[in-house]
Amino acid sequence: MSLLRTTRCVLRKRNSVAHFHLSPAWWAARKVLQQFKLADIGEGITECEVIKWNVSPQSSVSAFDPLCEVQSDKASVEITSPFDGTVKEILVQEGHVAKVGDSLCVIETDEDASEHSDAPTSASPADQEQRHDASNPAAGSEDPRVARRPHPLDPNNPPAPTPKAPAPQGTVNGTPRADVLALPAVRHLARHRGVDIALLAPGSGTNGRVERADVERYLARQQSTGEQPSPIAQPPPAAEDVVVELGRTRYGMWKAMEKSLEIPHFGYTTSLDLTALHKILPILNANIPQHYLPPSQEQSSPPLVSASSFFPVPQVHAPPASGSYDKLTYLPILLKTLSKAMHSWPLFRSSITPGSVSDGQKPTLTIRPNSDICVALSTPTGLYTPTVRAVDKHSVYSLASTLRHFAHLGRQVPNALTPAELPRRGGTLTVSNIGAIGAGEGAMPLLVPGGGVAIVALGRARWTWDVERGDGAGERRLKMGVSWAADHRVVEGAELAAFVETWRGYVEQPERMIAEGV
């Protein structure tokens, strides 16, 4: 009998211990495991690479503590903890990619911290068994602790029923929203509560960073005054496509460029030394004939000695007022030297007459007696190529006046160029002075049927250090790049190269033109 009484006492003690562990106080201190998932951190972002973890297993974290840093294809974002607890396991290692919705880590939290979770994971199988055993705790027991407000970034926390404001864009009070310093969690909280974060800048944090406390103070102030949160400015309406019909000139360029594909091009690129031209340019500018100068610079009184005192001097044909100028550029001199090279090479004074396959006629070349050169002219209405006829008959001063007059007519709206400047029979060479606009090193000019046998693009003149003068010492020279394209059906590559070298001789030694009578 004494043995039976002893056994009953032991059983009573075990029952009392079991009831002690299943008390309401134990229930309030239970632990659960929360899997923290990668939330949608931006529009169009489906995955991110974990580039840095700020915690390790068994590390204690609080809400809003930085957990890790992830990198998307748009930016890097710092992910903060939505729970107070202990990091139990890191599921995605540094350098690995996680998709939106994947679990990043496991955090052990208190039961009350996860009371809003949909599917918490228990701390251990033993806890699951004890929870089943304690499904009916003592009546009247209450948890004395106040329920914690859920973290706004908790993926298991359903959003508030209030409508979600659109992502802030633009500026508020001159402050760009993109320039407001704030952690992603604070930005999310502000959007979640309908607060424009730009209104809180500068914040109370370091360097004016907006903190969570700034958002809460703003909300508390509005609740105390009864004001509604300031609405977030709506983004401007998206711009719509505008259909623009090609004008007559640009449509003509469209068709001409399509026809340029019919011509096999041969390219040649080199540079010219303009140092000698640079030295004589001030002399030429100082001796511009009177009738080319603007009216404001004409002589107000007649000279003391006149050449017409003995015999009347023939009247000089005055250019139009739009052709007046007071300063020369390199372009008219380059055109003049180019005309000299064209006289040495009749091929480049030739125009092509296509043959007829049906009639058995072969194409022919027509050699002109003069050097006709087209000049590319960019205007408000499109690209034109007016022709300077008989360049070899012009002086440098006359060429400068003609070019200025062409530019004046081209700038008019509507365009004032006439068939006199745009004859049906254009030039045999075309010059495009792209160096006046851009500073490129080269170009690929294109020929069109009827546009001559070659075209050249003139680059910008630059001062360079030339060490190829023969003595090895080097010197400062003014160089200009030129890019040629020729019709390879009639111009051989060697012929184009030799022609350019002839032109170089006149450009780099302009004194030759004096001996040849210009």
Query: Radius of gyration over alpha carbons of the chain, in Å?
Result: 43
What's the pLDDT score for residue 116? 46
Position 394 in a domain: yes
Distance CA(188)–CA(208), nearest Å, equals 18
283 and 380 both lie in a single domain:
yes
Residue 47 — very low, low, confident or very high, per pLDDT cuts 50/70/90? confident
262 and 121 both lie in a single domain:
no
- Structure confidence by residue, pLDDT tens digits, 358-367: 778 889 999 9
Distance CA(300)–CA(308), nearest Å, equals 18
Distance CA(170)–CA(173), nearest Å, equals 10
What's the pLDDT score for residue 125? 43
**Dihedral sign of CA atoms 100, 103, 109, 110 in order:** positive
Q: Which residue has the higher pLDDT, 127 or 421?
A: 421
Average pLDDT, the chain: 79
Which ranges of 202-357 would DSSP assign to H, the alpha helix? 212-225, 248-260, 275-286, 330-344
What's the pLDDT score for residue 183? 75
Distance CA(469)–CA(474), nearest Å, equals 6
- Structure confidence by residue, pLDDT tens digits, 450-502: 889 999 999 999 999 888 766 777 889 999 999 999 999 999 999 999 999 99
Kindly state the tokens that stand for 68: 């890790």
CATH number, domain containing residue 382: 3.30.559.10
259 and 219 both lie in a single domain:
no
CATH number, domain containing residue 203: 4.10.320.10
Determine contact, residues 493/268, Cβ cutoff 8 Å.
yes
What's the pLDDT score for residue 180? 73
Position 321 in a domain: yes
Distance CA(512)–CA(507), nearest Å, equals 9
Show Cβ contacts of residue 1 under 8 Å, excluding neighbours closer than 6 positions: none
**Distance set, CA 220 to CA 161, 208, 319, 385, 424 (Å):** 19, 20, 81, 72, 81
CATH number, domain containing residue 28: 2.40.50.100
Q: How many domains does the chain have?
A: 3
pTM above threshold 0.85: no
Q: Is the pLDDT of residue 29 over 50?
A: yes
Three-class secondary structure assignment of 118-148? CCCEECCHHHHHHHHHCCCCCCCCCCCCCCC
116 and 32 both lie in a single domain:
yes
- Find the Cα–Cα–Cα–Cα dihedral 460, 445, 417, 387, rounded to 10°: 90
What's the pLDDT score for residue 518? 67
221 and 328 both lie in a single domain:
no
Half-sphere exposure (Cβ direction) of 376: Cα atoms closer than 13 Å: 23
359 and 273 both lie in a single domain:
yes
122 and 211 both lie in a single domain:
no
What's the pLDDT score for residue 228? 59
* Strands 373-375, 429-432: pairing kind: parallel
- Domain residues for the domain of 193 are 171-225
71 and 186 both lie in a single domain:
no
Distance CA(324)–CA(293), nearest Å, equals 5
Average pLDDT of the segment spanning 202-222: 84
With a pLDDT cut of 90, the percent of the chain lying above it is: 36
What's the pLDDT score for residue 55? 92
- Structure confidence by residue, pLDDT tens digits, 323-340: 999 999 999 999 999 999
- Structure confidence by residue, pLDDT tens digits, 61-119: 988 888 998 876 555 678 888 888 999 999 999 878 888 889 999 999 886 544 444 44
Q: Is the pLDDT of residue 268 over 90?
A: yes
113 and 181 both lie in a single domain:
no
| Element spanning 460, H or E | strand 454-466
